[in-house]
Amino acid sequence: MKTLKQIIQEADNGKTAIGHFNISNIEGLWGIFNGAKELNVPVIIGASEGERKFFGTKQIVAVVKSLREEFDYPIFCNADHCHSYESFKEAVDAGFDAVIYDGAKLSLDENIKETKRCVEYARSVNPEIVVEGETGYIGDSSKLLDSIPDGVAMNDAMTKSEDAERFVKETGVDLFSPAVGNIHGILKDIANPRLDIERVKVIREKAGVPLVLHGGSGIADEDFVSAIKSGIAIVHINTEIRIAYKESAKESFANCGEEIAPYKIMEKSVLAIKDVVKKRLELFSK
Ligand SMILES: [Zn+2]
């Protein structure tokens, strides 16, 4: 079985991307796993601090590992956006394959200092762990938005390649996620902003490590393809599967009549998530 590091390296070399999808529950996990398995591509299961709290931090690690072992399948888990050292440490200690420290709201100096501390801790526990850092605020939550959230890095505030270079060099992260026009969430009434593809290219060169695109939901297909060709090796999708889950669950609850077995009522949601995941993975692995 290849390690997550090897799989990321392969995606980076081949100019494809690995899909990263978040879960809150077991329906999400099966939907994502089944979608990836039908295409036979590796996949990363993400869990934010809120999602971890709901599912259980150690429990996510255990179920993802159980799929990896039972099916001999490259499925990995990532602790998405740890906003404190304590939260980061908890994820490392629980055995996550990858962990993100999110210091995007800090000054660059503070962000570097805290991320470096996280990298050192992670390596001391598990030399194989993948650590990601980020600069440039892109919003907090994977939800439907009325407008672009305050403080989101757009235009001149997007990640600068010289900052990316310094950040990676001084922190030692394995992966870097920039702000390049991407936002967490989907705008309700208008299309999400377009990505600055040229910026992706320059940041990838200067940073020297594979890049991660957060806030993939709502991004135009052609932007995905160009961004992946320019150095994005992992794409995060959350909002789109949350919408698929809610819409299908609403329909199931409206039509389930006397049925009370959750596993029957929620069956359609697993399929709805699988469809979104498959569609995205087909695009990312081109
Ligand atoms: Zn994110």
- Domain map (residue ranges) of the chain: 4-284
Give the model confidence (pLDDT) of 32-57 as tens digits: 999 999 999 999 999 999 999 999 99
Lowest mean pLDDT among 5-9, 21-25, 139-143, 168-172: 139-143
Core vs surface per residue 96-133: b (16+ CB within 10 A) or e = bbbbbbbbbeeeeeebbebbbebbebbeeebeebbbbb
Q: Which of 232, 132, 208, 138 lies closest to 174, judged by CA?
A: 132
Residue 70 CA to ligand 1 centre (angstroms): 29
- For residues 51 and 217, what is the distance between their CA atoms, to the nearest angstrom? 18
Residue 18 CA to ligand 1 centre (angstroms): 14
Q: Which of 12, 2, 1, 35 lies closest to 174, judged by CA?
A: 12
Q: Given this model, what pLDDT does residue 55 score?
A: 98
Q: Which of 102, 114, 89, 105 lies closest to 48, judged by CA?
A: 102
Mean pLDDT, to the nearest integer, of 54-71? 98
CB-based burial label for 12 (10 Å; 0-12, 13-18, 19+): buried
Residue 279 CA to ligand 1 centre (angstroms): 20
Cβ atoms 280, 274 nearer than 8 A = no
Which residues does the annotation place in the binding site?
81, 102, 134, 184, 214
Establish whether 156 is a catalytic residue. no
Give the model confidence (pLDDT) of 159-172 as tens digits: 999 999 999 999 99
- For residues 274 and 11, what is the distance between their CA atoms, to the nearest angstrom? 22
Residue 145 CA to ligand 1 centre (angstroms): 15
Cβ atoms 63, 51 nearer than 8 A = no
What's the gap between Cα 157 and its chain centre? 22
> CATH number for the 4-284 domain, one of 3.20.20.70, 3.40.50.2300, 3.30.365.10, 3.40.50.300?
3.20.20.70
Maximum Cα–Cα distance for the chain, whole Å?
61
Give the model confidence (pLDDT) of 105-147 as tens digits: 999 999 999 999 999 999 999 999 999 999 999 988 889 999 9
- For residues 281 and 286, what is the distance between their CA atoms, to the nearest angstrom? 9
For strands 18-22 and 43-47, give the pairing: parallel
Q: Is the pLDDT of residue 257 over 90?
A: yes
Which residues does the annotation place in the binding site for Zn(2+)?
81, 102, 134, 184, 214
Q: What mean pLDDT, rounded, does the chain reach?
A: 96
**CA-to-CA separations, 140 to 63, 214, 241, in angstroms, rounded:** 26, 11, 17
